[in-house]
Amino acid sequence: MEKKKIRIKDIAQLAGVSIGTVDRVLHNRGKVSDEALQKVLETLHQIDYKPNLIARTLGSKKTYRIAVLIPDPSLDEYWAQSEQGITQAETEWAQYEFSIEPFYFNLYDKESFRSVAEEVTEANPDGILVAPIFYHEALPYFQKFKDMGIPYILFNTNIPEVEPLSFIGQNLYSSGKVGAELMCLGQGGSGNFVVLHINEDSHNSIHLLEKERGFKEYFAEHNGTDYNIKTLDLGNLKETAIEKEVENLLADPKLKGILVSTSKGTSLVSSILEKSGKKDIRLVGYDLLKENIHYLRAGIIDFLINQNPKRQAFLGINYLANHLLLKKAPPHFDLFPLEIITQQNLESYLESTFH
């Protein structure tokens, strides 16, 4: 049971070489003669050496630089919450040699993503945390990062084929199903239902389409034929135009419920629904934005699904830091639970440490 720890010094002694040589072998850096190499490798085989990571980081003066590539937090409350998570992780790691360099792109501008991603490659960081919401624009950069040997972690939106070190986020297909379940809860599944995409380019974002797919699948699984699902994509319209469209929807007497696929869109639709005075439309949306909290309390929004952007980003930095500093591999996937927020459990989410 009681294994005494083996140090580099011990290996050196056993192999009959110096500490420096062992170090060179362990990290294959510097030049080592074949003879020495063999001796060290052999003793390494015979024993179970576990490097003391604490000593390693203390001894090394390297400071790691992590780049964060996300939408500009000052333009969007959802991303502001992500940024909070990053800041929190930053302070927790402050004692070590870490620096976090933010790179913000415009949520509505693919070009800006491109140019900012370019800056990231120029900065040549030791690790990257990125929310790749523009699929096509992001792809080539991951190839670059890979070529440069820079590890990257994705959050919010996954692109499995770029093989990130880790993905942090939710299963959006399931998310859509949960949305549908909440839609039907207690009111049956018959009538007209709408999925609303607002404020993002839904064609380019698997993101929203996945939610839509799950939503429809739930109905297909659970209901007869007595329902109708409509999808509306208001991504490119101005606010007044969106308002018109939503009002049109609400005019439908058979409309039973709306799922809004984005957090910001949820606020917008809530305000329109409130103005309309209609009380019997079930509204399900996303995330604990200020306005959404307000409308949930007011009973306009019936349910929110929480994506927990703050914690997503927080864990992203944590995983990267652990990987770089302690060579500790993060999970390949960290899929967050699909948290359902209602009037009654809302406060418990707001009070708890991580929301």
Does 148 help bind a second copy (rule: CB under 8 A)?
A: no
In the complex, least distance from residue 339 CB atom to a second copy, rounded to whole angstroms: 6
- The option from DNA, a second copy, none interacting with 9 (CB < 5 to 8 A, set by class) reads DNA
3-state secondary structure 225-240: CCEEEEEEEECCCCHH
* 26 lines the binding site for DNA (CB under 7 A): yes
Length of the chain: 355
Identify which range of 18-26, 35-43, 168-176, 201-209 contacts a second copy by CB under 8 A.
168-176
How far is residue 236 from each of residues 197, 199, 207, 239, 250, measured CA to CA in Å? 10, 7, 17, 10, 20
- The phi, psi pair for 127, rounded to 5°, reads -165, 155
- Give min distance, CB of 25 to DNA, in A: 8
Nearest distance from C-beta of residue 38 to a second copy, angstroms: 27
Cα–Cα dist 237/67, whole Å? 33
Q: Indicate the burial class of 91 (C-beta count within 10 angstroms; 0-12, 13-18, 19 or more).
A: exposed
Please name the helix (run of DSSP H) or strand (run of DSSP E) that holds residue 103, with its range, or none. strand 98-105
Residue 21 binding DNA, by CB under 7 A? yes
Q: Which one of a second copy, DNA, none is in contact with 334 (Cβ closer than 5 to 8 A by kind)?
A: a second copy
Segment interacting with DNA, rule: CB under 7 A, options 50-58, 172-180, 198-206, 313-321: 50-58
Write down the least CB distance from residue 63 to DNA, Å.
10
Q: Which does 186 bind (CB under 5 to 8 A by kind): DNA, a second copy, none?
A: a second copy
Residues 172-231 that bind a second copy (CB under 8 A): 174-175, 177-178, 180-182, 185-187, 218
From 92-100, 103-111, 115-123, 190-198, span contacting a second copy (CB under 8 A): 92-100
User: For a second copy, which is the closer residue by CB, 272 or 325?
Assistant: 325
Pairing of strands 152-155, 127-130: parallel
18 lies in the binding site for DNA (CB under 7 A): yes
> What is the SS3 assignment for 164?
coil
Total residues at interface with a second copy (CB under 8 A):
45
Nearest distance from C-beta of residue 215 to a second copy, angstroms? 11
The answer to the question of residue 19 lying near DNA (CB under 7 A) is yes
Span 58-77, contacts to DNA by CB under 7 A: 58-62
Three-state DSSP class for 309? helix
Q: Which of 113, 115, 147, 108 is nearest to 130 (CA)?
A: 113
Site for a second copy in 30-69 (CB under 8 A): 50-55, 57-58
Q: 299 touches which of a second copy, DNA, none (CB within 5 to 8 A by kind)?
A: none
Order of strands, sheet of 333-335, starting from the edge strand that comes earlier in the sequence: 98-105, 64-71, 127-130, 152-155, 166-169, 333-335
Q: Is 154 exposed, middle or buried (0-12, 13-18, 19+ CB in 10 A)?
A: buried
CB 269 within 8 A of CB 285: yes
Q: Residue 253 Cβ, how far from a second copy at the closest point, in Å?
A: 20
Positions in the binding site for DNA (CB under 7 A): 5, 7-9, 17-21, 23-24, 26-27, 30-33, 35-37, 51-52, 55-56, 58-62
